[in-house]
Amino acid sequence: MVRFPTPCLQGTAAGRSRVISGWIWASVVLGSLIGASNVHAQDAKGDIGLQEPETSKSGNSGAVCIDGNAAGYPCSLVDLVGFLPLADMGARPGIALNDAWGWVDPETDQRWALMGREDGVAFVEITDPANPRYAGELPMPSTAQANVWRDIKVDGWYTFVVADGSGGRQGLHGMQVFDLRRLRSATGAPVTFGSDAHYTEFNVAHNIVVNEETDRAYVVGARLDQRSCSSGLHIVDISDPLSPTFAGCFADRGTGRAGTGYVHDAQCVVYEGPDRTYQGREICVGSNETAISIADVTDAANPVGVSRGTYPSAAYVHQGWFTEDHQYFIQNDELDERVFDERTHTYIWDVRDLDDPVLLTAFVSDVVSTDHNLYVRDSFVYQANYSSGLRVMDISDPSSPFIAGHFDTRPNDSAVNFAGAWTAWPFPDSDLVIISSRGEGLFVVRPSPLLGTRFTGFNATADDGSVELSWGLNQAANLERFEIVRIEADDIRAVVSSVTPAPSQTDFTASFESEEGIFRFAVVAVSESGDRIESDIQVVNVLSGEYLLDPLWPNPAHASTRSTLAVARGQVVRVSVHDALGREQMLLLDERITSDLSVELAFDTALLPPGTYYLRILGERFSGTRPFVVAR
């Protein structure tokens, strides 16, 4: 059963504005400004045409994200720690990256990035994350062909590797098994390794899923499958990693483009969510092109379908991941941006009742990009969204997610395509995230401690020259101070006051004296590491009299000019333009305005003859004029 929610749109601004059509206009601005057959997606896409990066980003030094930039890469609250170009990972010309996974040696504490290439796996040591080191490779089997898709998972000491093939490139690849302890010896020149075991019950497969709790691998999207699993779940017992054995099949017929139960990707867990019927059971959620499919696979020889869920705009249900409490499932759709809306969509399922998954919300990003793999750590979703790179979504409130940070691996490329970030994998034991970017290389990044921090309210008032501000935060960890900034011309921010938060404090106030004027204020939260987030902007009217009218600018005017009006008390105000003889030339405003609003008066002077003019203001309690000149 599916209930369809209202989409959750990113970047919805609180405020109202009005534009009067024609060559005269005025806008009222609120005080708060926000700023087919058996063809699967991989066949439909064919071999992805790689786009060369517009700029070469070689070297391995990191960079802190400052003012939206880290070493030339657009970012927000995500720092670049290290980088290794594709050319330095043993890739031949024309070979690109695909999947990625991570592993930490529990005995030596060496940290590794397992990077999928179209022709094998590259092993990169990132124990020193600022200096990634290419240590060696595991080539594809000699019977296989290079292909776009390769997938890597880990169970204990071992990694398991599959690869897909389109068209006629479906030579035997099977599942490679590699003992990761062998990487300890790769201390010098890059080493070419061989597999430690090779499972050959299928030729090619799109993906592999591993449940480390049960020592099972789930090969999905397999073709030329000797066990005839219909490209569904091909279940393998890997409790003896060097002797993997077939354990069972599951295909949810009626799902998939061909209705055969094709599984593109999946996650399988020992369920610990609130649904008591399935607690302690092994549950798989498959992303089956047309639907998510939930199955109980506790008995691998006799798996049971539980439920499925879909939605009207399902174009290619691609991949997803449980939240850590198993109450929600976060899912992407790889092709809906091509079919329905170019902005990235993320679907959040309420799976607290596994028999009845409910689509809680569809988050719509403000960025144009195709989404790909995503993973969950704590209350964040780490999304690899091709041309827009890493997007970090805060799901602390699953019904109201938001993008908390990002790191773009392909500057100047925002489009619906398959170039850029394939996988962004967060290490569960640290704050590091590795990104596999198709034509660029390996990025090692670290989110800011402020990630997920946001302002929960910001209010500003002024009385007799004193400005009072109040605001809140959803969390206050790792904060050093707040800066109160006044936004001046050219968006220059001048610090006018500061506040030091107390431990665990989440509500704050500040007051200070100000000269008369119409000002824009914001609050900047600064972390102990120097990261910064800024509140929305509040316009504050600091008045000593009945009204305040800013000088017109530019003056002399050529094509247009503007001013801003604020009043101390709500009233009907008429604003008009008159020539030197007092004749009215245009009416800009004739309506009631309130004291919490500032009115921007902007108007076209192109049709006015050169000369002196007057902006006339008439309120219920005041009147005034402001001269200006029209010149050519």
| Three-state SS at 346 | strand
Confidence of residue 9 (pLDDT cuts 50, 70, 90): low
CATH H-level superfamily of 545-630: Macroglobulin (MG2) domain (2.60.40.1930)
Tokens of 195: 């597999």
From residue 2, alpha-carbon distances to 296, 351, 531 in Å are 20, 11, 41
Confidence of residue 90 (pLDDT cuts 50, 70, 90): very high
Is the pLDDT at 5 greater than 90? The verdict is no
Average pLDDT for 268-278? 98
584 Cβ partners below 8 Å, 6+ apart? 576, 577, 578
CB burial of 320-335 (b: ≥16 within 10 Å; e: otherwise) equals: bbbbeebbbbbbbbbb
Beta bridge partners of 42: none
Instruction: Report whether 564 contacts 599 (CB < 8 A).
Output: yes
Instruction: Report whether 484 contacts 531 (CB < 8 A).
Output: no
pLDDT tens digits, one per residue of 350-374: 999 999 999 999 999 999 999 999 9
The CATH architecture of the domain made up of 453-542 is: Sandwich (2.60)
Distance of CA 509 to the CA centre of its chain: 31
Question: Which pTM value belongs to this model?
Answer: 0.82
Please provide the average confidence, as pLDDT, over all residues in the chain: 89
- pLDDT of the residue at 475: 81
Confidence of residue 623 (pLDDT cuts 50, 70, 90): very high
From residue 116, alpha-carbon distances to 113, 177, 572, 592 in Å are 10, 14, 67, 64
d(CA 146, CA 324): 35
Q: Can you give the residue ranges of every domain in the chain?
A: 63-447, 453-542, 545-630
Beta bridge partners of 123: 114, 136
- pLDDT of the residue at 189: 97
Ranges assigned E (strand) in 334-478: 343-350, 358-368, 374-377, 380-384, 390-394, 402-407, 421-426, 433-437, 441-447, 455-463, 466-473
Percent of the chain with pLDDT over 90: 78
Domain 63-447 has CATH 1.10.3080.10: no
Is the pLDDT at 348 greater than 70? The verdict is yes
Confirm whether 453-542 and 545-630 share one CATH topology: yes
The torsion region of residue 238 among left (phi > 0), alpha (psi -120 to 50) and beta comes to alpha
Confidence of residue 60 (pLDDT cuts 50, 70, 90): low
Is the pLDDT at 35 greater than 90? The verdict is no
- pLDDT of the residue at 79: 96
Nearest to 382, CA basis, from 315, 327, 414, 428: 428
Instruction: Report whether 123 contacts 138 (CB < 8 A).
Output: yes
Phi, psi angle pair for 158, to nearest 5°? -120, 150
d(CA 337, CA 343): 6
Q: DSSP letters along 107-173, please?
A: TT--EEEEEEETTEEEEEE-SSTTS-EEEEEEEPPTTS---S-EEEEEETTEEEEEE---TT-----
DSSP state of 470: E
- pLDDT of the residue at 16: 25
DSSP state of 395: -
Confidence of residue 37 (pLDDT cuts 50, 70, 90): very low
d(CA 254, CA 136): 43
Omega of the bond prior to 556 within 30 degrees of 0, cis?
A: yes
Q: DSSP letters along 196-217, please?
A: SEEE-SEEE-SEEEEETTTTEE
Tokens of 271: 């369920």
Nearest to 446, CA basis, from 96, 57, 107, 111: 111
Is the pLDDT at 525 greater than 90? The verdict is yes
Average pLDDT for 328-340? 95
